[in-house]
Structure formats: C-alpha cells, structure tokens
C-alpha cells in the first residue's frame, strides 16, 4: 500500500523521514553510546530553553545548576497561556498544538515543534513495528471516543481515513452495539486492535459470554494494543483467550510521547530515545530502580514548549534490571490524585480497592464493569453494570476483603447501572475521590 500516512505528515511539514532516520541512528548506538547521548541531550534541551524560553528561564533563576536541582514541573505550572510558554521563534502557526483529554482532572494546551512531533510518530512506527504492524498499511480496529460536535467529529473521521482506521465510538457499549462491532470483524480484514482498555475488555467479555474467539472470526488480526487505562493480569488473560492474539500494553501521554510499550519478550520498555524518565519521591529526590514513586519525564527534543522534569501525575516503578540505556517499567500503579484517604489516616492508591473487589465480584462473570467513588472519609459508592444485582453473599465477601486488606468499618453502597459514566473522550475512570 502507498505510504499515505508518511506522505500526509510530510505535506503538513512534519519531517517524518528525517525523524525515522534519527531514531534509527539512536537505536544503533551501543549501550554506552546511548547513555552519553541521553546525558548530552538532557543538557542541550535545558540549555536551549534557558536561552530561548522566558517562561522556563523564570523558573531557573540560577544556571547552570545540577540536574537534580532543576524545578519539577506539573500541569498546574504549565496552565498559563500557551503564547507565554512558547520558545523564541515558535508560534501556533509553525508548531503542532493540542490539548490533553483532561481525564486526570487537569487539562491544558500544549505544543511541540514539528520535528519533535515527527519523532513522536517515528516512535509509534518503530514500536508498532516490533509486532509486525506497519502504520502505513495496517488496518486498525479503533476503540476510542470521538468528539460529538459536527466539525471536530468530521475532522476525526478524516484522520481515521488517512490513518487507515475504523473507529468504534465507545460511549454506548450495550450488547446491541457490541453485536454490531462483532459484525464488523466478520466482514473487515483488521490487522490490529487499538484503544481504551475498559472498552476492549468489555468486548472480550461479550465474546466470552457467546463462546466466540475473535481470531476465528477475523483471522487477519495480529495483535491488540491497549492504552490509557490500567490492564490487569486477569483482564489480559481474558483478552488473549477471547482474541487469540498477543495483547500489548501501551503507556503514553499526548503532550509527551509513547512512554512505555511492551515488546515481544513481554518487557514494558520505556522510551529512552525521545524522553528521559525518572522516579521521584515526595521531596523530589531520585529513587533507585525498584522503588515506587512519581513518574517524572523530560522531553529531550521539544523546543517549542519546555517539558523538563515534568511530573505527569502517575505513580510507577522502574524494574531493578533497568539501565539508563534500557529502562523497563515494572509497574504502573495509578495517578497521584487517585489516593484513598482512610479514617485511620492511612493513604492507599485508589486501585487497591479495584484489585481487592475485582476478583470477588467478577468470579461468576455477572459483573461487566464497575467504578468506585469515595464520597466521604469512610463512605464509598460502587456503580456496576451486571446481568443480575449483586446478592448479599457477594457484598459480604467484598466487605471482608476490604477489612482485611485496608481497614474495617468502611461503608460501601452499591448501585446497579445500565451504563457507566465515561469522560468526554470515552475513558472509564476506575476510582474517583471527592474529598
């Protein structure tokens, strides 16, 4: 197939060819050469923004300073008008700009210079290529949200056409809609699936209930790539069983790049070509590999906007086997703003509840999806979609597990729903604190 995706990027002045060549060169470095490259690029990007970006210069009054003494930025720091954050010579007209989805609760507008954005796409091409998916020719079954307004909707549909994607909007995932999605797999030669974890898992449960296997229905499928939401071990096993293809975990951020992508060996490889990832504690001290902390990212090439030591709002662990040249993400735990505060004063990641309750309420396949909201210090509301209402026995099992893993005397109220509320982009936020 003609490389229309590459051509579209070139027409829009995103230099994809030179970006792919640069990425190939970086990947041909020896581990020692790559470490030197990363350190040099860290210094170069800071030096560029100190000299050319008044917004960043105001945050670093003394320069040069040690890397660890540089400020740690977050979305709130960056929520000043985009025009005030541009480096000299960069504008909306000569950059790529967009806004985050706001699923973390803190949306903002960002920009990348065109070479940096081309590198992002080169990174996508390379990583999907690990699984024999050529983005120029492969046909994607896309489980994503879509803007509902007329012009943004048409724009997204046109992008889908250019990128060889068939989109399944995920705001309605009733059995009637899932049946229509299944019919598309019967008649279209999809090469891979890509989209939000919760929606794809729900589709797999639908197949399981019908005792169907997707690779038998659509034999051209090669791989499924899930993104934007947590993928749990039992959900991955479900997807691999019902789809009959490898399931790959992707972790990325629109304002940065692909952050980590699973390779064929099952390693969740961190992008060490276009970004630099650190794990920091609450005092902004760098933690050793193997310890849990805040994920802080530096964009090594973005000259339009400074994303230097940027706290993305997630908590994770880099594997002890990691090196500067080959970092490996061992675990992505959740978002820093999704912490549970318990009456005893104890704090736990919101996903703790998800782990504890998931196996219990799903063991008979009745519950399809659920979300948890902490409305008061000791009160939690569980909304769920199921074939039948949870009985007293199931609720008592959940309560006992919570008592054991967290602490006793927490009250849970259960609400059975037809559908669950998603973000305007179709994401399912699994835990929310209203405190």
Regarding beta strands 379-386 and 411-416, do their DSSP bridges make them parallel or antiparallel, or are they unpaired?
A: parallel
Give the per-residue pLDDT at 1: 56
User: Is residue 127 over pLDDT 70?
Assistant: yes
Q: What is the mean pLDDT of residues 129-143?
A: 95
CATH for 4-335 is 3.40.50.12780
User: Is residue 299 over pLDDT 70?
Assistant: yes
User: Is residue 334 over pLDDT 80?
Assistant: no
The two tokens of residue 160 are 């889908």
Banded pLDDT at 156 (limits 50, 70, 90): confident
| 3-class DSSP assignment, residue 255 | coil
Q: How many CB atoms lie within 10 A of CB 214?
A: 22
Q: What is the mean pLDDT of residues 179-204?
A: 94
Query: What contacts 65, CB < 8 A, 6 or more positions away?
Result: none
How large a percentage of the chain has pLDDT more than 90? 62
Banded pLDDT at 413 (limits 50, 70, 90): very high
CATH for 339-433 is 3.30.300.30
User: Is residue 425 over pLDDT 80?
Assistant: no
Query: What contacts 204, CB < 8 A, 6 or more positions away?
Result: 235, 238, 239, 241, 242, 243
Give the per-residue pLDDT at 338: 67
| Range of lowest pLDDT (137-146, 195-204, 376-385, 397-406) | 397-406
Give the per-residue pLDDT at 125: 96
User: Is residue 193 over pLDDT 90?
Assistant: yes
Give the per-residue pLDDT at 424: 65
C-alpha to C-alpha distance for 354 and 372, rounded to whole angstroms: 8
* 233 vs 261, residue with greater confidence: 261
Which range in 204-208, 336-340, 405-409 is most confidently predicted, on average pLDDT?
A: 204-208
Give the per-residue pLDDT at 109: 85
pLDDT in tens, 362-402: 655 678 788 889 999 999 999 998 888 988 888 888 888 88
pTM given for the model: 0.83
Structural domain boundaries in the chain = 4-335, 339-433
Give the per-residue pLDDT at 13: 94
- R_g of the chain, CA atoms, integer Å: 22
User: Is residue 230 over pLDDT 90?
Assistant: no
Give the per-residue pLDDT at 80: 85
Asked if residue 71 lies in contact with residue 81, where contact means CB atoms within 8 angstroms, the answer is no
Give the per-residue pLDDT at 335: 66
Give the per-residue pLDDT at 117: 97
pLDDT in tens, 49-101: 999 999 999 999 898 899 999 999 988 788 888 999 999 999 999 999 987 75
Give the per-residue pLDDT at 66: 94
Give the per-residue pLDDT at 107: 58
User: Is residue 326 over pLDDT 90?
Assistant: yes
pLDDT in tens, 255-275: 999 999 999 999 999 999 999
Give the per-residue pLDDT at 218: 98
Q: In 3D, which of 307, 199, 318, 326 has the Cα closest to residue 253? A: 307
Cα–Cα distances (Å) from 254 to 91, 108, 134, 233, 356, in that order, read: 19, 11, 21, 25, 31
* 32 vs 254, residue with greater confidence: 32
Banded pLDDT at 355 (limits 50, 70, 90): low
C-alpha to C-alpha distance for 41 and 58, rounded to whole angstroms: 21
pLDDT in tens, 3-44: 888 988 999 999 999 999 999 999 999 999 999 999 999 999
Q: In 3D, which of 228, 140, 261, 250 has the Cα closest to residue 192? A: 140
């Amino acid at each position: 197939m003609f490389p229309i995706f590459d051509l579209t990027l070139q027409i829009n002045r995103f230099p994809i060819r030179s970006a792919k060549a640069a990425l190939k060169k970086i990947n041909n470095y020896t581990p020692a050469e790559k470490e030197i490259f990363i350190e040099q690029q860290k210094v170069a990007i800071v030096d560029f923004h100190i000299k050319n970006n008044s917004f960043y210069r105001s945050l670093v009054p003394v320069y040069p300073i040690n890397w660890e003494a540089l400020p740690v930025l977050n979305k709130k720091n960056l929520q000043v008008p985009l025009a005030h954050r541009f480096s000299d010579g960069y504008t909306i007209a000569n950059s790529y700009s967009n806004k985050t989805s706001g699923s973390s609760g803190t949306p903002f507008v960002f920009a990348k210079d065109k070479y940096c954005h081309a590198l992002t796409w080169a990174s996508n091409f390379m990583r999907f290529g690990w699984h024999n998916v050529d983005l120029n020719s492969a046909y994607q079954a896309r489980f994503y949200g879509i803007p509902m307004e007329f012009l943004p909707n048409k724009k997204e549909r046109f992008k889908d056409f250019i990128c060889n994607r068939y989109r399944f909007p995920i705001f309605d995932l009733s059995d009637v809609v899932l049946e229509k999605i299944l019919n598309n797999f019967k008649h279209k030669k999809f090469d891979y699936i890509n989209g939000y974890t919760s929606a794809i898992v729900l589709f797999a449960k639908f197949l399981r209930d019908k005792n169907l296997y997707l690779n038998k229905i659509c034999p051209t499928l090669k791989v499924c790539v899930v993104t934007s939401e947590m993928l749990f071990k039992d959900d991955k096993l479900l997807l691999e069983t019902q789809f009959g293809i490898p399931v790959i975990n992707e972790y990325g951020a629109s304002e940065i790049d692909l952050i980590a992508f699973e390779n064929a060996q099952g390693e969740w490889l961190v992008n060490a070509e276009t970004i630099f990832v650190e794990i920091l504690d609450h005092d902004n001290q760098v933690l050793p590999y193997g310890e849990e902390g805040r994920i802080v990212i530096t964009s090594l090439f973005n000259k339009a906007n400074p994303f230097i030591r940027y706290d993305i709002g997630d908590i994770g662990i880099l594997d002890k086997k990691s090196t500067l040249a080959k970092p490996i993400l061992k675990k992505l735990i959740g978002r820093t703003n999704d912490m549970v505060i318990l009456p005893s004063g104890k704090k736990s990641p919101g996903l703790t509840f998800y782990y504890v309750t998931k196996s219990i309420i799903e063991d008979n396949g009745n519950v399809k999806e659920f979300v948890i909201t902490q409305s008061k210090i000791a009160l939690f509301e569980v909304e769920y979609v199921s074939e039948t209402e949870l009985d007293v026995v199931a609720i008592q099992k959940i309560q006992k597990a919570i008592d054991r893993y967290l602490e006793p005397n927490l009250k849970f109220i259960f609400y059975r729903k037809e559908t669950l509320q998603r973000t305007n982009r179709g994401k399912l936020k699994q835990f929310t604190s209203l405190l």
